[in-house]
Structure 1
């Protein structure tokens, strides 16, 4: 019997050996591009019976991700292989991330054909913002050579290149380019942010064609820094009236830099190839990731003096690192401005940052947080943030620094002090500050007065033209708003604070309700309102009421002129009423959303826009 068992065991080993030999493991396969930083392939196991992708996932702790059952692989020959199953994850079900924010699971597909050399992973075109990874290599540790289009070159840089004077002219700039390694199913839009010192951060988009190309135009007031913000790490370039900025974006290199397994591998070339205004400077800004955050160690401190010491120590270290960078004189000058301004800003924000840290650490309520903040402010010396860090703000050449637009905002409160220290109230800082203030008024739906219009003559011609055009457009919008429908202003009436919210929503009892606590000055609120427009149209047959509540911090005329484009029910509360609701419902900021069922029960609450998909999902739960 013993000999028989031994013989059977030997036979099983012999049978398993050839099966084992046919299993091939590709550890950390290189890939071309992915549209997500949430998942990455750590290993591919090939056999005669299955293809298994080992997935490493990294996402917000205690949040979920989901893999669609429609997921598939597509090999280099065009053959597709549908998802069979998951190991450690169930397709179409929420996979909750652990406290670490990292997890692993496996996706099982049919066996690949023998001549497959690479595969693409996709959740399918029907999945909105679905995960995709293109060009996963199966038989090589190298990616196929990237074919560069004509014009995609790295420009030689003269290390003595001086920062030029910016163009001051109002006109139209063109931004165009191409996403390299583009595949069908990739993003259809690319997002840019114009770092305009008058308009501050202005977002715009360009449509991406089937070949990965994009092109758009935008009005600018002169040489203006901008970033492409669609790929995690910013890509810098400059826009200039009458000129074209051309960007060839190296997606495989951007994906490599964000990869857990390949970020230390040899680069696949520069992140971007740039042609156009200040191309050499833009190239260096996009190549050298010089981080000017100075609060890494300072946030460990608990008092203002220690915080400042830590910031200044980091500042000195960063200055040495900056001097060691292999960059031209012009780029170095811009980065010195960035470093100076970020030092000033860190010190100005110290009480707020330390308060937030103290509140979170000790789990304090808002009132206790205010008291702690006031205590810090009272102990803050007048010269805590040295104004000499702002000395370059009146240098016209430094308007080309990416953070200059923020410098205008933060330093405007002390413009009189700076004028006294500098011995003048003339120059680009003061002109730009006046123009920025007027533009903010226009952007808040408040037209310029006759006096303000007359004062435009004292500004540079480019600024005057921009403001005049913006004001005329606002006046036309206000006239058009008088004819718009789809919005309704509600009066609260005489009601106690305790009964306020119940009274407000009682009018809509029996209908699903989305309550949006917002403010006219809140950029994220306004962007969310715009993003939800298509959703509201899709759900128009669901009898949902959209209720927008704001307070007196939203100026009355601004509010009246803004809401015609926000269809729904609108209420503007007094400061006292707004404060009560904030305290009662523990509203931490705007936007905050409530979703209320037909019986008046709050079924969902979130501060910060959760995204259109999540909002739609939660609304549908109360419409059935």
Structure 2
């Protein structure tokens, strides 16, 4: 009997642990990475019956978010589907309060004991919320360096002068390594290459789902500042420089997203370092120091509408720029920036100073509109704004050497290039220069634009060869040779509609005439326009989905500022009729419809009535409007 009682007691003792919930709470878990900052998992309750997530949401007040009923937690090879929620109804609009912050609870089945981390996936759609590597072990700090980072890059970058620009031509290869990448996180990577001759070029490459690497190859002509980001929601933005003809590896620590979520909490857990980018190549130290900079760029901040008083005289405006420049340079000198970042900031200030001089009238008008709340760009303004004269530009030229080649290395190189190349006057005359950067760019940049459209002549090349630096002729010749090769590869694959041979005032009617009786959406765009690209990408699925109809015609108007190869490459992915207009045609139609910027939309109804409809920049309104018109 005694033995029997002993056996029963032993059996009960073995059963009790499996019947008793193994409750455990993880407060403020570290999050490895995410595609959003809207959600934060601030507490995880673990038991044998459920996994409970306490979620904080941050979003614009009086706007909504949605949590899909298809949400799940993921560990290797297993999914645990959402079983319930408190404080939010799955698949329904959840309206954010005035504070822009809300909390709710999500319930899932129990995770296996010993689970060290999990991913929260709000369904498998591309733009759904995804938080990866939610830690359950109680870690309080992120690793010093991300997994997969080569050992030779685990050291501080060297400070010193900003490197010189390299005037050379070559094919550049850039490998973007996304450290901590998970399949399904992003599909593609986009780079925007800003070159001293070719301007703003977009390049896209797929991300290898196994390695998390995207590889780019492109012709490079002189130094280039590159902006990059993975294509997807909540993606991070990268800035780095490359030298022509080199292979550069850029390693991106994706835990930057997780750190930014964790550090927003009341009880912040500071990361052990502030770096997200590691680089090889000629400009490696510049790229890494730029990424690590703690202090905000000190600049003119001229987009606020308060930069200048529209009543200023030309003398007052020029003196204001001189005074601001001196004050800002003094602020840079007194800042805690590294030596290289101080010089970079000063170069950028110089670029901005030239930019605000050549855009004087636009900035004064911007202030006028801001003061009078007159944002209808089609409204006529009778006020006469000040116009600068050569003596005013000379005042700025007295502040620094505008012929310094290092000005190609500042953050606002496109503004500098545009100011020097396309001003109504010649900066070289102001500084009495017979050669140097301002002379070269004035001649070479327009020639490079001709080369990008395969229009460069032997006479043009001869003119470029007269410049002291042989780089410009070599570069423009290489640009045109590349364009010819790429155009040959595109032959027969895309169609540019023949622009009707009529006067500009008859052009629009001639373009839409064949579509009589149908609804026509005319999209004014260009390849270099980021918002245009985003709008087209959003609208494209509608043509085979909600708005699939023979009664809708999509017409796209661009001009010759879109480089021919880039234009042909892009329109091959855009369903519709494509017209490439010359400067006169584009200018007339923009004035006719009072186009205030691109993208702009002109809507033509079934009776042929046309009207500018820039309210259709709202994607949802565009859908609803076109649906209603074809019902």
Q: Which residue does the alignment assign to 1:17?
A: none
- Cα displacement (A) at 1:409: 0.7
- Cα displacement (A) at 1:334: 2.5
Q: Which residue does the alignment assign to 1:266?
A: 270
SS where residue 218 of structure 2 aligns?
strand
Q: Which residue does the alignment assign to 1:303?
A: 309
Q: 1:327 aligns with which of 338, 343, 353?
A: 338
CA distance in 2, matches of 1:604, 1:281: 46
- Cα displacement (A) at 1:151: 3.7
CA distance in 1, matches of 2:329, 2:88: 44
2:87 is the counterpart of 1:84: no
Q: 1:409 aligns with which of 418, 430, 437?
A: 418
Q: Which residue does the alignment assign to 1:176?
A: 175
Q: Which residue does the alignment assign to 1:359?
A: 369
- Cα displacement (A) at 1:430: 2.4
SS where residue 52 of structure 1 aligns?
strand
SS where residue 459 of structure 2 aligns?
helix
- Cα displacement (A) at 1:49: 5.0
CA distance in 1, matches of 2:593, 2:140: 59
Residues 117-165 of structure 1: CA deviation (Å, up to 9, x unaligned): 432111233x123221111234415256343432452445555x34444
SS where residue 31 of structure 2 aligns?
coil
Q: 2:241 aligns with which of 228, 235, 238?
A: 238
Q: 1:463 aligns with which of 464, 469, 472?
A: 472
CA distance in 1, matches of 2:198, 2:270: 40
Q: Which residue does the alignment assign to 2:7?
A: none
Change in CA separation of 1:165 and 1:251 when aligned onto 2, cut-off 3 Å: same
**TM-score normalized by the length of structure 1:** 0.76
Residues 186-232 of structure 1: CA deviation (Å, up to 9, x unaligned): 11222323231111232323432212233322221244333434486
Change in CA separation of 1:575 and 1:415 when aligned onto 2, cut-off 3 Å: closer
Residues 522-549 of structure 1: CA deviation (Å, up to 9, x unaligned): 5654675578667757789743643326
- Cα displacement (A) at 1:402: 3.2
CA distance in 2, matches of 1:449, 1:495: 28
Change in CA separation of 1:148 and 1:70 when aligned onto 2, cut-off 3 Å: same
2:442 is the counterpart of 1:418: no
- Cα displacement (A) at 1:407: 0.5
Residues 542-585 of structure 1: CA deviation (Å, up to 9, x unaligned): 4364332659x7699989x9698565345777866654434xxx
SS where residue 67 of structure 1 aligns?
coil
Q: Which residue does the alignment assign to 1:142?
A: 140
**TM-score normalized by the length of structure 2:** 0.75
Q: 1:436 aligns with which of 445, 463, 473?
A: 445
Q: Which residue does the alignment assign to 1:281?
A: 286
CA distance in 2, matches of 1:104, 1:42: 12
- Cα displacement (A) at 1:88: 4.9
Q: How does 1:56-71 map to 2 (within 5 A)?
A: 56-59=57-60, 64-71=64-71
Change in CA separation of 1:111 and 1:429 when aligned onto 2, cut-off 3 Å: same
- Cα displacement (A) at 1:429: 3.2
Does the 8 A contact of 2:252 with 2:278 survive in 1?
yes
Deviates more, 1:598-607 or 1:410-419: 598-607
CA distance in 2, matches of 1:278, 1:503: 49
Q: Which residue does the alignment assign to 2:524?
A: 517
- Cα displacement (A) at 1:273: 1.8
Q: Tell me, which stretches of 5 or more residues in structure 1 are unaligned?
A: 1-20
CA distance in 2, matches of 1:118, 1:370: 61
SS where residue 134 of structure 2 aligns?
strand
Residues 341-377 of structure 1: CA deviation (Å, up to 9, x unaligned): 22443465465356446536644363685516x5333
Q: Tell me, which stretches of 5 or more residues in structure 2 are unaligned?
A: 1-20
CA distance in 2, matches of 1:288, 1:574: 42
Does the 8 A contact of 2:526 with 2:561 survive in 1?
no
Does the 8 A contact of 1:253 with 1:271 survive in 2?
yes
CA RMSD, aligned part only? Answer: 4.8
2:255 is the counterpart of 1:252: yes
Does the 8 A contact of 1:26 with 1:45 survive in 2?
yes
SS where residue 32 of structure 1 aligns?
strand
Change in CA separation of 1:426 and 1:88 when aligned onto 2, cut-off 3 Å: farther
CA distance in 2, matches of 1:163, 1:27: 45
Deviates more, 1:21-30 or 1:389-398: 21-30
Q: How does 1:410-559 map to 2 (within 5 A)?
A: 410-414=419-423, 417-443=426-452, 445=453, 447-459=455-467, 460-474=469-483, 488=497, 504=512, 507-509=515-517, 513-518=520-525, 524-525=531-532, 542-543=549-550, 545-548=552-555, 550=557
Q: Which residue does the alignment assign to 2:297?
A: 291
Residues 481-516 of structure 1: CA deviation (Å, up to 9, x unaligned): 88567564576999999xx8899479343x564432
- Cα displacement (A) at 1:180: 1.5
- Cα displacement (A) at 1:34: 0.8
Does the 8 A contact of 1:122 with 1:133 survive in 2?
yes
SS where residue 371 of structure 1 aligns?
coil
Q: Which residue does the alignment assign to 1:131?
A: 129
SS where residue 425 of structure 1 aligns?
coil
SS where residue 375 of structure 1 aligns?
coil
Q: How does 1:199-210 map to 2 (within 5 A)?
A: 199-209=198-208, 210=210
Change in CA separation of 1:321 and 1:390 when aligned onto 2, cut-off 3 Å: closer
Change in CA separation of 1:150 and 1:577 when aligned onto 2, cut-off 3 Å: closer
- Cα displacement (A) at 1:181: 1.5
CA distance in 2, matches of 1:208, 1:111: 33
Does the 8 A contact of 1:193 with 1:204 survive in 2?
yes
Does the 8 A contact of 1:492 with 1:504 survive in 2?
no
- Cα displacement (A) at 1:337: 0.6
Q: 1:106 aligns with which of 104, 121, 126?
A: 104
CA distance in 2, matches of 1:206, 1:356: 38
Q: Which residue does the alignment assign to 1:196?
A: 195
SS where residue 394 of structure 1 aligns?
coil
SS where residue 593 of structure 2 aligns?
helix
CA distance in 2, matches of 1:50, 1:109: 6
CA distance in 2, matches of 1:474, 1:172: 14
SS where residue 270 of structure 2 aligns?
coil
CA distance in 2, matches of 1:407, 1:309: 19
- Cα displacement (A) at 1:286: 1.4
Q: How does 1:152-167 map to 2 (within 5 A)?
A: 153-156=153-156, 159=159, 161-167=160-166
Q: Which residue does the alignment assign to 2:4?
A: none
